[in-house]
């Protein structure tokens, strides 16, 4: 992991190549983090991957977070590894919630989730009006391991990754409504289905 001066030097070099890409750095809990402009995230990731002195060519983890009630509300975290030096660096892109305050979707049986091969950037609110979703560029072209991880972030948080080859749900059913890991998602509203809920189990003891 880069130390504090090394992290600042990396941020400075990225900004020299891509002005404004890195907005802040953080070194805490044993993690070196570059906080980047979400519109420039691919510039930062590409620089870290392709610059010989860095060589962060493996994306080990991509995950999302919801910091409600903080703003910006959402974040996408990228953990990169340089396997030659056995070093890690983290990149974090903060995303504002583009939906209006009353635009949170609540799960209903009749609603249907957005779903297209390219991924839609709109949800449907309770009043039937379009509600925008947070959006960021996909990094699958740079790191193929991001494919399923971006789909998981979309599935659970409703974050749209522009340019993803197949942005669709990966763990929840296709007809599932809402984004279950958002902090304002209703808790306890989904019944747990077991086999005995669907078909009657044989009574072997008779």
Condensed to tens digits (0 to 9), the pLDDT of residues 26-72 reads 998 889 999 999 999 999 999 999 999 999 999 999 999 999 999 99
Q: How is the chain split into domains, by residue range?
A: 4-162
Name the band, by pLDDT with cuts 50, 70 and 90, for residue 165.
very high
- CA distances 195 to 109, 175, 180, 200, Å, are 21, 20, 23, 8
Share the mean pLDDT of the chain. 85
Mean pLDDT is lowest, of 22-36, 97-111, 167-181, for: 97-111
Phi, then psi, of 76 in degrees rounded to 5: -115, 125
The pTM assigned to this predicted structure is 0.81
Residue 169, C-beta contacts closer than 8 angstroms, at least 6 positions apart:
113, 115, 151, 154, 155, 176
CATH architecture of 4-162: 2-Layer Sandwich (3.30)
Q: What is the predicted pLDDT for the residue at 58?
A: 97
């Amino acid at each position: 992991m880069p130390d504090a001066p090394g992290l600042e030097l990396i941020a400075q070099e990225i900004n020299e190549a891509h002005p404004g890409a890195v907005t802040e750095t953080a070194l805490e809990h044993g993690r070196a983090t570059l906080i980047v402009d979400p519109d420039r995230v691919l510039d930062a990731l590409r620089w870290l991957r392709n610059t010989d002195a860095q060589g962060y060519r493996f994306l080990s983890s991509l995950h999302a977070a919801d910091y409600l009630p903080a703003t910006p509300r959402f974040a996408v975290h990228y953990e990169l590894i340089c396997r030659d030096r056995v070093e890690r660096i983290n990149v974090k892109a903060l995303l504002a919630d583009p939906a209006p305050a009353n635009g949170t979707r609540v799960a209903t049986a009749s609603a249907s989730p957005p779903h297209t091969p390219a991924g839609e950037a709109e949800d449907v609110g309770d009043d039937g009006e379009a509600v925008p979703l947070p959006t960021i560029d996909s990094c699958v072209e740079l790191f193929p391991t991001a494919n399923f991880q971006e789909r998981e972030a979309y599935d659970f948080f409703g974050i749209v990754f522009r340019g993803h080859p197949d942005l669709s749900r990966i763990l929840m059913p296709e007809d599932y409504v809402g984004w279950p890991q958002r902090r304002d998602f209703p808790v306890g509203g989904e019944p747990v289905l077991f086999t005995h809920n669907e078909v009657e189990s044989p009574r072997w003891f008779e």
